[in-house]
Amino acid sequence: MGMKKYGAAVAAAVLALGVGVPLAAAAPAGATTVTVTSHFVWSPPASDVSGDTAFISNGATNGHPNDLVFATPNYNANGLCGCEYLSEPIGVWYDSGAGSGGEWAVFTETGTLMPDGESFNILVVPKSSKSAFVWRSTASNTTSDYTLINSKLTNGKPDADLQVTQNWNPGGHGGAYNGHDIGVWYDKSKKKWGIFNEDLATMAKGLAFNVLVGSAASNGGKAEVLTTSHSNRVDDTVFFRNSETTGNPNNVTFVTQNWNPGGKGGTYNDQQMGVWYDGSEEGVFNESTSAPPIHSAYNLLIFSS
């Protein structure tokens, strides 16, 4: 689709700053220690991008291998142009040798080079709980292209709202790749939610995923489900309106694909998803620039800033 279209105000800001200018993280960084669930925008400088990885330097994540980190690509964070596409599936990993005491990072699961100028919305949960945990695929819970989650917060609850990010090495240990775009789905026969590969590739055993159930553990996020229709889809984007995002380029939104919200329907979209702000509205888009299928659905976790 090429360069996205901007509203006049955003276009002016982009021209003033120049395309590709790194943005500062919107949360305490460096030695500052953050002990509560927090979210921020991270636009790594070129010095923090190496190979397939963009390192995160922030007080919420530095030196904390047991953090649960969630990431969504942001095409134009804070309404300003980084304007990079990232069509490869992403995950997070912890490098104990990075920085002065270890750093979390976002990486491409396929090993493709991480583009300079890419930005990410980052959510950090400092410790596991019933509603925020690491789920691992094992022989007992994995079949075909999916692994089924066993949790009291999700079993028998087709309307549960999940955010999921792939985690290469929880706690800084191990390391397993899954070079596939993922989503979540509700198995009505077993009354459990699952994580699956959108391309239907066999789900390997030994994979790990950070899972957040609902919004209570997010420290202020609002959860909603977005479904693609002819009225809200424009080219590669599904736009949405609410009080947190409309007219607000500083919103921080996370997205996870949902195959069958409420246990109904079922639409595949084998894509890495990102978010962007068009000058007045926030949208979820296919990073490959293809059009999201009608009826494809997305779990959103939204912060106003």
Mean pLDDT of 21-30: 35
pLDDT band, residue 18 (cuts 50/70/90):
very low
pLDDT band, residue 8 (cuts 50/70/90):
very low
Residue 100's pLDDT is 81
| Distance (Å, whole) CA 270 – CA 121 | 21
Residue carrying structure tokens 């590969």: 197
- The total of other beta-carbon atoms located within 10 Å of residue 213's CB is 24
Q: C-alpha distances in angstroms, 93 versus 14, 90, 148, 184, 225?
A: 31, 10, 22, 21, 27
Mean pLDDT of 142-146: 98
- pLDDT surpasses 80 at 19: no
pLDDT band, residue 278 (cuts 50/70/90):
very high
Mean pLDDT of 49-64: 97
Query: Tokens at residue 137, please?
Result: 């695929």
Q: pLDDT digit string (tens) for 74-107?
A: 999 999 988 999 999 999 999 999 988 899 999 9
- pLDDT surpasses 90 at 34: no
| Distance (Å, whole) CA 17 – CA 50 | 24
Q: pLDDT digit string (tens) for 247-258?
A: 999 999 999 999
- pLDDT surpasses 80 at 4: no
Q: pLDDT digit string (tens) for 209-246?
A: 999 999 999 999 999 999 999 999 999 999 999 999 99
| Distance (Å, whole) CA 158 – CA 60 | 32
| Distance (Å, whole) CA 273 – CA 242 | 20
| Distance (Å, whole) CA 195 – CA 147 | 5
- pLDDT surpasses 60 at 12: no
- pLDDT surpasses 50 at 141: yes
Residue 282 phi, psi (nearest 5): -90, 150
Q: Contact 286/269 with Cβ under 8 angstroms?
A: yes
Residue 212 phi, psi (nearest 5): -120, 125
- The total of other beta-carbon atoms located within 10 Å of residue 190's CB is 12
Query: Tokens at residue 99, please?
Result: 């920085």
Mean pLDDT of 34-63: 95
Mean pLDDT of 281-303: 98
Mean pLDDT over each residue of the chain, to the nearest integer: 91
- pLDDT surpasses 50 at 71: yes
